[in-house]
A and B are shown apart, each in its own frame.
Chain A
Amino acid sequence: MDLFEYQGKQFFASYGMPVSPGEAVTTVHDAVAAAERLGTPVMVKAQVHTGGRGKAGGVKFAADIDAVRTHASNILGLDIRGHVVENLWIEKASDIAEEYYASFTLDRSAKQHLGMLSAEGGVEIEAVAEQNPDAIAKIWVNPVDGLTEDQCRRWVLAANLNPDVTEQAVELLRKLYEAYTAGDADLVEINPLIVTPEGRLHVLDAKVTLDGNAGFRHDLAPFDATQPRDGREAAAHSKGLQYVGLEGSVGVIANGAGLAMSTVDAVNQAGGRPANFLDIGGGANADVMAGALEVINNDPDVRSIFINIFGGITRGDEVANGIIQAMDRVDIRSPIVIRLDGTNAVVGWSMLDPYLSDRLVLVPTMVEAAEQAVALAQGSAP
């Protein structure tokens, strides 16, 4: 899960890395109060899960309290690449002499951790990687051995940072690696990592993605609570469903992530637009099916529902029973197209047979079912 900048900085600070004092606020009034406590000048920074905040006017320098008020009221509610700003981070402003870049993430091909360090920070690292790849010093760290001090120092020297900050950089990057591994992060990125005019290394921005699978050894609840979810996603999340909201009109329910992705593809290939990705997992019982149908039914854009189930261990008769019971509990607005195949599919079909109508259609193959669901969503039943 992606953290806001201020959460990322708090995360880094807990591993002993130098960040600026600041406060997270949600109103102009609180922004002004925070700036008064911190003392101007401050930075007023939009907290959103997307890049390009600066260009969109979401990061402003405020020399005095009046400027804080102006910027805070302009930035709150601002739409940055589809993300509406609800949170601000008010931070003591820093003077900048140099800007670097530092990160750790998993290199899936090498199956080791990849550290990247560059003296050319402050801009998008993808641009540096493209235009001047030699400006990025890379290091691969075997997780069994960890990042040794010697290895880290060689890496810092290879990046051609200001020699005056070499030892500070070694110390900070080892803490960054510690935060990455001990904190169960998928990504830790500092851009920019600055040198102040006084020669101090300092974390000026923080991008952190934590591994949701590590919730059994970290308290992720505060971060989970601030995840941006639309109403549909929040409802699905509370039911424990694997749901991703999309923009279309065909609601999708499938068992297994691969089949659910494949179903989304099939709807697109049939000329329609899926409203969502929803994986109900292996056990398609009535409770899960009812929950899934409820979430999709509450999506006002949905015009048809495509249930695509392949029975492996999951049995077709159980799935059919789940659908029948779920329809009893939820008043479904949209017509349903079912493709049910695999184990005990024939039994499932005969169970569904008495319920079939123009509102509940059984179609033998996935491709045909997708076509039918798309036709129904577009209001032209074939």
Chain B
Amino acid sequence: MSIFVDENTRVVYQGLTGSQGRYYGMLNRDYGTQVVAGTNPKKAGTDVEGVPVFATVADAVAATGANASCVFIPAAGVRSAVLEAAEGGVELIVVITEGVPMHDEVCFYNKLKADYPGVRLLGPNCPGLISPGKANIGITAGHIAKGGGPVGIVSRSGTLTYQALYELKQKNIGCTTCVGIGGDPVPGTSFIDCLAAFEDDPDTEAVMMIGEIGGSAEEEAAEFISAHMSKPVVAYVAGLTAPPGKKMGHAGAIVSGGKGTAQAKMDALAAAGVRIGQSPSEAGDIMAEVVAAL
């Protein structure tokens, strides 16, 4: 099995007619994802390489039975795109776009929570998610992922996610689902959401978690793991030596006032029984040991 997406997920791409949306939408389709529709109010009735384009998500859902959306809209339009997707009736909204203002994020996060509690938001500023062999939604390179489990992956960082997938594949270890939750201050889906889903997924037997500096999401995940996870978790946290007060690329990755340091996160996770790798490859080696012992 897998979490959040599988071979039955039918995806509408908001922004399919743009260069990024078309490029990754077609890559996702080539991978085997059910790419059923695109939206663009000015190009309704046309198609992108055979994928029909509708004016709105609601139209796309009505015509194609889409149950998920993937957003490649420029940052300025993301707020209305997310609300349009929720109103349109999809169950999962994956926002790849980076550079979305914090006030927009916190607004649509709370709006969805109040008015569309059944809708899962992933991102913004995330690589998307892949259930290898079933569905790939977003910008993950599908061929570096080996399917079949037993490992689930959840990560705040894009490139480190790819690296984790690749290293596991090199070691001939499969993955049920790999979720990139993104590095923004208000991620729609948290570590805890993913850990809980992996705990419930019978095919996931161990979880790889990749964190980074800033915020307290890893510390909160540690509390959850300690209280609710029976499956082993291996973690890596980037930014151990990042200087305080400097933003390291991601909007979220900043250490301030001694809070959110990588060391504090690693300590919290270790105290919850999580095995920590000091580098991404060490985390991969540890996971190989964990899988061998399953």
Contact = CB atoms under 8 A, between A and B. Distances in A.
Contacts of B243: 246
A114 B61 CA distance: 37
Contact of B110 (A112, A214, A277): A112
B41 interface: no
A343 B103 contact: no
A266 B279 contact: yes
Contact of B163 (A211, A246, A342, A367): A342
Contacts of B107: 143-144
A244 B248 contact: yes
Contacts of A269: 240-241, 278-279
B220 interface: yes
A148 interface: no
A313 B160 contact: no
A351 B56 CA distance: 46
A262 B284 CA distance: 14
B159 interface: yes
B72 to A, nearest CB: 14
B109 interface: yes
Contact of B159 (A144, A211, A259): A259
Interface residues of A, number: 49
B110 A261 contact: no
A313 B24 CA distance: 10
A366 B281 contact: yes
A142 B162 contact: no
Interface in A98-146: 106, 108-109, 111-113, 126, 142-144
A259 B210 CA distance: 11
B216 A144 contact: no
Contacts of A255: 159
Contacts of B186: 106, 108, 111
Interface of A: 106, 108-109, 111-113, 126, 142-144, 181, 184, 186, 211, 213-214, 216-217, 242, 244, 246, 254-262, 264-266, 268-269, 274, 277, 279, 282, 310-313, 341-343, 365-367
Given A216-B75, A259-B238, A262-B239, 7 more contacts: A108-B217, A111-B186, A144-B111, A264-B239, A310-B166, A342-B163, A366-B281
